[in-house]
Structure 1
Amino acid sequence: MRYREAAVRRDELRRRVEQQGYVASRSVAAELGVSDMTVRRDLDQLAEQGLVLRVVGGARRPDGAPFVTRAVAAAAAKEQVGALAAGLLAGELVGPGAVVALDAGTTVEQVARRLPGGLTVVTHSVPVMAACADRDDLTLVGLGGGYHAPTRSFGGPETCAQLAGLAVDLAVLSASALRADGLSCHDATEAATKRTLLAAAAQVLVVADAGKLGARAPVHVAGWDAVDGLVTDDGLDDRGRARLARWAPRVPVRTPAGRLDPEPR
């Protein structure tokens, strides 16, 4: 189907940005049967109306989806991932006294609600801080910086500087998209914080529901070589397993059904 009428085409572009979080102008132009220049003009107009935010190569939702909206999306899957990841923290990945850094994100919040005791928790996420603040069996280290409302977290140079001075045994990282080249998110400041977490941690565990596999997000964070493990939900189908086997053959994947072991080194 060719989207020749501008109003219909822009409605479709806005719908895709809202659902996917990000569209690449070149690929969406091919899908709609119009030129790349036409799509760029459409996205520019939508941006002027405040309906999308233009980024290099395409457009994304303005400031990303609100935290509460993302928390509701795939809620059962995120709870499943959170419970599984927290269980792994209860002795298999780290022991009592370990320093664990928790990223921002609705899935990481589910991990925080189920943490085993005896850990020092480092985080820039306000919901994670709230989940840990009243726990007498956890030591909480909250990081400051510029507040980012869509993720309900702090970020920027101040946050990264605080993280860079810490020695972290394990970082639990979220991602907006899992693709062949690794992890992506929607915001450059958010990506910088994630990269600093990666650099500070001896091990990195990524938590993401299966819907993130093959999703789109404009800012690349890191490749699969920076990841030591992935926890996802039972929505991971055969196609998703095959993708991960191609994209991240060295990364062990945990699902409620068990562990998908990586290829031997």
Structure 2
Amino acid sequence: MGIAKPGSEPRRRRSGAIAVKCGMTAEWNEHGVRVPLTVLWIDDCRVTQVKTQEKEGYTALQLGAGSKKAKRLNRSERGHFIAGDVPFSAELTEFRVSPDAILPVGTAIGASHFSAGQYVDIQGRTIGKGFQGPMKRWGFSGLPASHGTTKKHRAHGSIGNSQDPGRVWKGKKMAGRMGNRTRTVQSVFVYKVDADRNLLYVKGQVPGKAGRFLKITDALRKPPETPAYPGWGFGDFAKEAPGGVSVAKMDDPFVKQSE
């Protein structure tokens, strides 16, 4: 599960999951410290297609989550789900996996796919804020508030470089559309896993507004060192996945940790 070193075997990569952002809450851990949490709901997530090296040129799993009426899908989308004999999904996402992590079509993935205490990467679309000026969009300080400045207090100032080069550089920070971009938050701590209700409680905030779908994968920079249980994400893991609620143990911030 760890990152491969030069000259070693490739890193094993298992599938992630698709979740719905429900909102934020907070809990107090065993040390009496308030932990801000984002609640993620894995809603009917299952494998809808398997892509192999022989056919598609790479190994991946396509997952679907949520539900959608047939009349809300076009003909090609309906045919895709009918061919795989899986329910109609509201969201489709692809996960690159290693060959030993291929799961059969129709395999359900729940909250027990992750374990409390591990780190995950979460990808989503940020909240769109429309057309914004340079102060809100980029944090500019604006022009002086006095001494002759008129109707330009929130402007960005000069954007050119005189006659040479005589143009505005590409990528110049200016006013424009803000938000609604695909962003990934790395190494998010999984505080609690509710396997019975398919809920994940992760520490801190994640991209997007409540009700949006998010893509969750094992953290790239902090991968799980050991599997949570036999067959964790590899092979027939659904029968071995634990149930109930599990909470991660956190370090006591009031006690100095030994090196």
Q: TM-score, normalised to structure 2's length?
A: 0.22
Structure holding more strand per residue: 2
Q: TM-score, normalised to structure 1's length?
A: 0.22
Structure holding more helix per residue: 1
Q: Which has the larger radius of gyration?
A: 2
